[in-house]
Amino acid sequence: MMNESVNLIRVGRIKRQRRYIIVTSILAIIAFVLCCAMLMLGNTIYPVDDVLRVLLGEEVKGASFAIGTIRLPRMLAGVFAGFAFGVGGYVFQTMLRNPLANPNVIGITAGSSAAAVFSIIVLHASYAVVSIASVIGGLATVIVIFLLSRGTSFSIGRLILIGIGIQAMLNAVISYLLLIGQQHDIPTAMRWLSGSLNGSKMETLYPLIVVVLIFAPIIIASGKRLELLDLGEQTATSLGVHTDKTRIVLLMSSVIILALATATTGPIAFVAFLSGPIANRLVGIGFSNIIPSGLVGIILVLASDLVGQFAFVARYPVGVITGILGAPYLIYLLYRMNRKGNL
């Protein structure tokens, strides 16, 4: 009887592992195809061989500028920002054990945005200063939310409600800054706030790329401990997880990559909110879905940007399309949680 139970557990684990590998591979292939589409499609459609020649450093008349200067930075911005939003959103939702506990809803993205808009409108700062301000704004918002949500015991519901209130306040600050800003600064701030890949340049992408390459592996390496945190404080502690240390590492790493992504592309709506639940639905539970969530984030950003560019007569920023996708899901989630009595 004992051997049968062990065999069933082993078979179930092998099936879950196979599903994880298959789904993650499919997501990676879809992301790769979208990357190719980002490089090939535009006012002029270039064949694959022209794209490869440009990427290998050859000078191709017409294609070198369009692909190397415009499309490649746009694609890389979507890849690294999408991965950052997807991973960061998954970490917050899993660690706080609530699908509403994501950076968009609880105000962390708004903190980064407010700091960045202040730098753009009031300080007329360079991109480097905007990036630093965005990171500081995100970290400061996390600290304020956690301090205000402390009581006799930790409450996720209290944290979410305080985060929503902080977000509303920060959005009011952003509106005020736009109201007092000089006319020539407002279009830049508004384009940035909508969440856009327009105007991406290689020199502005390096901080985001470096930060994601440094902190994403740290988050991925903490994946098992993150899944144990999802089981609850006492269970995680009994299984040998240093919960406070793990939370600090995950929070700091997630906020930094989220803030740099926000500074680079603006707050692309609902990517952090949707990526984790989609990955969990596709892959299932039993493994850390950090990488699948990041891949889903890439797919959402790149696919939405392609739709915004080519599906309509007018061109729309990527944040408009992701907002259209995410808003109905948020309403559905609130309705479902209310029916279950979780709100």
Per-residue pLDDT, 88 = 92
Residue found by looking up tokens 């991109």 in the block: 127
137-166 per-position pLDDT tens digit:
888 888 888 888 776 665 677 778 888 889
Q: Within 10 Å of residue 220's Cβ, how many Cβ atoms?
A: 15
User: How many domains does the chain fold into?
Assistant: 1
Average pLDDT over residues 336-342: 64
Residue 47 DSSP label: P
CATH of the domain at 192: 1.10.3470.10
**Is residue 173 situated within a structural domain?**
yes
**Is residue 26 situated within a structural domain?**
no
Per-residue pLDDT, 255 = 86
**Is residue 92 situated within a structural domain?**
yes
Average pLDDT over residues 4-30: 81
Per-residue pLDDT, 7 = 65
Model confidence at 212, pLDDT cuts 50, 70, 90, reads very high
**Is residue 32 situated within a structural domain?**
no
Of 33-37, 111-115, 190-194, 245-249, give the range with the top mean pLDDT.
33-37
**Is residue 33 situated within a structural domain?**
no
Phi-psi region of 260 (alpha: psi -120 to 50; beta: other; left: phi over 0): alpha
Is the pLDDT at 316 greater than 60, yes or no? yes
**Is residue 198 situated within a structural domain?**
yes
**Is residue 258 situated within a structural domain?**
yes
**Is residue 299 situated within a structural domain?**
yes
Residue 317: name the closest of 308, 325, 326 by CA. Answer: 308
Model confidence at 231, pLDDT cuts 50, 70, 90, reads confident
pTM: 0.89
Enter the tokens of residue 123. Answer: 């300080």
CA 80 to CA 48: how far, in whole Å? 22
75-103 per-position pLDDT tens digit:
999 999 999 999 999 998 888 877 777 77
Domain residues for the domain of 260 are 75-340
